[in-house]
Amino acid sequence: MRLSTKSRYGLRALFDIAYNNDSQPAQVHEISRRQEISPRYLEQIFQNLKKSGILKSKRGPQGGYTLARRPDQITLLEIIKATEQDALMVECAGEAKKKKRRKNECPFEGNCVAQTVWKEASDLLDGLFSSLTLETLCQRGSAMGVAKESFSRQHADR
């Protein structure tokens, strides 16, 4: 499975919010600076994350982005599904549509040993990604010694 930059950057940005902001709104320019991601691209990614109920936003001088739920309630699988059109390893690993054929459906659909391997691998990855949360990443970041920028320090610098 190859994840797009939307998933990779989205995950990094959500980790940043969970790790650095103590439930306070995070502004795009702060996340952009810390994660070295274009603010414009972050805004695009955040639109999908808002639609999926992972992020909330608030306008105004004290505004920014906050997680819609606690970090231990947001799985990596949710983030990937919110940012990717399709998170399958290969197209044929998805659920076959009974009435409508997919655009590039394999002629061996439903009669292919390799398809069973791709489906199993996709299921294993889904299991892994659904077992990991933003809280898991925060714990790992702390254990790795990732520098944490406190909320009060961010706003004192202004």
Encoded tokens for 31: 């996340």
What's the pLDDT at 107? 80
What's the pLDDT at 60? 87
What's the pLDDT at 20? 94
What's the pLDDT at 140? 97
Burial of 24 by CB count in 10 Å (0-12 exposed, 13-18 middle, 19+ buried)?
middle
pTM for this entry: 0.84
pLDDT exceeds 60 at position 152: no
- pLDDT tens for 5-60 read 999 999 999 999 999 988 899 999 999 999 999 999 999 999 999 999 999 999 98
Kindly report the length of the chain: 158
What's the pLDDT at 99? 44
pLDDT exceeds 70 at position 156: no
What's the pLDDT at 111? 85
Q: Tell me how far CA of residue 24 lies from CA of 57, 63, 64, 66, in angstroms.
A: 11, 9, 8, 7
- pLDDT tens for 78-136 read 999 999 976 667 777 666 544 455 566 778 877 889 888 988 998 999 999 999 999 99
**In terms of CATH architecture, what is 5-156?**
Orthogonal Bundle (1.10)
What's the pLDDT at 96? 52
What's the pLDDT at 94? 67
Are 65 and 46 a contacting pair, CB within 8 Å? yes
What's the pLDDT at 134? 98
